[in-house]
Structure 1
């Protein structure tokens, strides 16, 4: 529409594509940026190609833009270590702290024809897993309309001839929308949230009995699209105000993420107390977001920061890593794999780089089920994939396809002569490895290419207090806990 064209005049990518004086590599860079930007809003090659064949590249974003029915990768947050770091990064901007719920990210779409669908952070449809979620969201939208009618009823009677159009606008229901939310397991009897472990027992498609066995609640925190208009370019303050206007809480079914709005005045105690309250309320921690940020799909933005309780306790960082291989168990672990080789992902080279060997944190059931599920993905001929960057001294007994992602906690990171995390980004021949890694859980909601990447590993390494003052401790390769 026309609003898009107006935006286009200011768009630096469009300006670069229109600038004939630019050298060809700059034009190509702008073309790549245009495709990247459009794809982040419409992650469908079919839609992209269809539009690219129809219109000039410079107009691609006006013909191919975010709309309900095609999920986009959610905006992600950067992990932070301390409340001080959060305040330093936000540097005087207004921000809000939302509870970070321990559930599954859900993008809830309603298209113009009234169809409702739920998508995971992986862009997979999860409507079959959460059939009650669309219903809860509809109820929340209806409740908001009812609330507004009650509020505007009296006003309309007193001045029904002044600005009728605005009142009609006020009453507009949410006919098409995209909501960003977390689906969390919920105990109706006690009226409280339940840990993720319970939610993870839900099957991919459920029947009535399953729905009542593991009950859920929708915790909504963002609105990305409303009634024909994309809100991605609006500030969080505007998006949240529209969310609260067009949806209303419904007891035990739909709530807004709890949030504390703050101005940066250097007072860490308020944040500490709020973080504590979040953790006591069965949440993982806080999401800290600046009020002026726009919604950038698939970007890990500096405007969204993640503050988890365990980061603060110094228990260690959490990493999402990919198992590449395994070592046969000994003693009571015979018959299953006793240890695994895990890797981070390098986005530039599309390679997996080993960062630790892990044998702790597994229950006996974990060892059984992980061995069974990974055995289906053994690499034929016992040869490693060319995508795997692993030193010979770590050669496992069995190699696997990169199919799973595991959440791992580790005490810290150190330079390693054997591991290959962020290799080439430190001094010659050195990589980064994790010390004292522990298995937490399998991340069903992540693809291997969404694992912790080598730049994040490098950043976490340099952010350690032990490294900040000097070149970082050497490791003694003693940290495999095996």
Structure 2
């Protein structure tokens, strides 16, 4: 497939805001693809090159891309930056500037999707001495072959700013429409396949080549993390017990959701966000080898940090210092020891267990796990329909500095994703929002070298776009401003005066006084007096709170209108 064909479809997708229309446009494109281009196109419309769990990104900063544009079209860096300041979009900038370069039109050979995709993968995997020069050369050669329109989307792809509004739900609907007669069963099977494979490119290829039966027969694979099941918030213990009777009440630990894959003596550890943290937790790997009796299995638990002297649990923020650690790991093992509490088993020696009821999965888990006191244990659980007993159990959890309870329906299968029923969270009532940082402002005076105000956004689940809903500058300590600056600086897309725009990667928990209607933000609402609570290392931007959640909270204030 020629790249210009893909670009034509990018334009169609960008022009419509209709989720249904986007799915139809994408389905039309997918039908045109051969099996190899099908996978490439699915990745590219998501602005990616690999499944998310592989954690391979292009790693090209805005300034490096400006250098490439300067080298390719001969326009000065000052002119490029001046135009970029006006547009706020380096893709649009290069589209405007390229026509002045007459030699671009002399190239007769059209770019193909394969050439773009494979060369961008070379950029993403370039490392070591001379890596930056290699990236510049590859990107320059690609850009030289682009028409202005192709250049626009190539640059956007490289910077992770594609802006065509294709979220995961749209890709799912497009696969259904492209390869099946539209049926509810097909959507459920594709949801299942994606939850196991965590890769819509792989799902689309199986759908095209093997149909519905091929998708139904997918099993968990060692090394490929799954989408985990998430709980819904419940108003009260009484409400859940009234609806379901006896439930399994489990402590909800303040830790890192941990997916453990075991095959022989090989162990892999993944977070809820599908980050591979095996290297960061050699102590947990050792515990898994000792404590899991099965030859091959997938189990889930919650890893918490503990005080090295007393063994008492510590807050998740302490544990988070180990999650992204790349060096001095053994030192961190001693400084921040861990304990894991296991609560589910999804796969055992070739058999998928997700359709089995919770109570049966728990029994299987109990037979597979060899308890290691204070290190490797099952999640604390009682089975009861006595509200008072469960409330006392809830208070025990809070007294132990944990988050609350999960109430689980005894007959529930393991269903991937959120809002699927079966698991219900009971936590203290303070409302907060998990929001994405999309911009920031440099501070004044002694804080001039820190980013001290943060532009916050909710997620639009239909398009995957982020809608601004406020600015936050309170709730952080001095060292936290410094930490936030270190995290955000590599994500800066462009600067204008003291204001910067950043890639939407970082999720933070924010409390606020109230939500107000506001014409000043895309969300249509603004947070009044937002205040920082913590960074949500366990959540990616695709898990941030949605515009629907913001509206729901606004209405709950009694200010509907």
User: Counterpart of 1:349?
Assistant: 463
> 1:178-327, aligned counterparts within 5 Å?
178-187=298-307, 189-202=309-322, 203-204=325-326, 207-263=329-385, 267=387, 269-309=388-428, 311=429, 316-327=430-441
Name the counterpart of 2:472: 358
CA distance in 1, matches of 2:316, 2:366: 26
* Equivalent in the alignment of 1:427: none
User: TM-score when scaled to structure 1?
Assistant: 0.72
The one of 64, 80, 100 aligned to 2:234: 80
Equivalent in the alignment of 2:224: 70
1:138 aligns with 2:289: yes
CA contact (8 A) 2:206 2:215 kept: no
C-alpha separation between the residues in 2 aligned to 1:69 and 1:25? 29
> Any unmatched runs of 5+ in structure 2?
1-176
Query: Which structure is richer in relative contact order (CA contacts within 8 A, separation 6 or more)?
Result: 1
- Please name the residue that 1:406 is paired with: 508
1:460 Cα deviation from its structure 2 partner: 3.5
- What CA RMSD, in Å, does the superposition of the two structures yield over aligned residues? 2.7
Structure number with the higher strand fraction is 1
**Corresponding residue SS for 1:441:** strand
* Cα offsets for 1:60-106 (capped at 9, x unmatched): 23432223332101111123344455456xx1332122111111111
Kindly state the Cα deviation for residue 361 of structure 1 after the two structures are TM-superposed: 0.5
SS state at 2:383 partner: strand
Deviation at 1:363, TM superposition (A): 0.8
Q: Which residue pairs with 2:266 in the alignment? A: 115
Corresponding residue of 2:54: none
The answer to whether structure 1 residue 376 and structure 2 residue 490 are counterparts is yes
Measured in 2, the distance between the counterparts of 1:436 and 1:85 equals 32
CA distance in 2, matches of 1:411, 1:248: 47
Superposition deviation, residue 301 in structure 1: 2.9
Q: Secondary structure at the match of 1:349?
A: coil
**Alignment-derived partner of residue 258 in structure 2:** 106
Offset, 1:206: 5.1
Corresponding residue SS for 1:208? helix
Between the two proteins, the alignment pairs up a number of residues equal to: 382
Q: The residue matched to 2:303 in structure 1 has which SS?
A: strand
Contact 1:67-1:230 within 8 A present in 2 as well: no
Q: Is the partner of 1:339 in helix, strand or coil?
A: strand
Query: Structure 1 residues 42 and 25, CA, compared in 2 at 3 Å: closer, same or farther?
Result: closer
Q: Find the aligned partners of 2:241 and 2:516 in 1 and give their Cα distance.
A: 27
User: 2:432–2:512: 8 Å Cα contact kept in structure 1?
Assistant: yes
Contact kept, 8 Å, 2:494 with 2:500, in 1: the verdict is no
Q: Which residue of 2 aligns with 1:154?
A: none
Question: How far 1:328 sits from its partner (Å)?
Answer: 3.8
Cα displacement (A) at 1:107: 0.3
Greater shift after overlay, 75-84 or 292-301?
Answer: 75-84
Instruction: Please give the alpha-carbon distance, in whole angstroms, between the structure 2 residues aligned to 1:374 and 1:190.
Output: 35
Show CA shifts across 1:101-155 (max 9, x none): 11111100012x442111111112111011121221232234xxxxxxxxxxxxx
C-alpha distance 93-411 of structure 1, shift in aligned 2 (>3 A): farther
Equivalent-residue separation in structure 1 for 2:545 and 2:270 (angstroms) = 22
Q: What is the CA distance between 1:291 and its match in structure 2?
A: 1.2
The equivalent of 2:192 in structure 1 is 37
* Partner of residue 182 from structure 2, selected from 24, 27, 44: 27
CA–CA separation in structure 2 for the residues paired with 1:287 and 1:75: 12
Distance 1:408 1:85 in 2: 27
1:439 is aligned to 532
Give the TM-score normalised by structure 2: 0.63
Higher percent of residues as helix: 2
Residue 127 and residue 288 in structure 1: after superposition, are their counterparts in 2 closer, same or farther (change >3 A)? same
What SS is found at the alignment partner of 2:539?
Answer: coil
CA distance in 1: counterparts of 2:383 and 2:517, whole angstroms: 40
- 1:136 and 1:317, CA in 2 relative to 1: closer, same or farther beyond 3 A? same
Q: 1:414·1:473 contact (CA, 8 Å) conserved in 2?
A: no
Tell me how far apart the structure 1 counterparts of residues 486 and 456 of structure 2 sit (CA, whole Å): 17
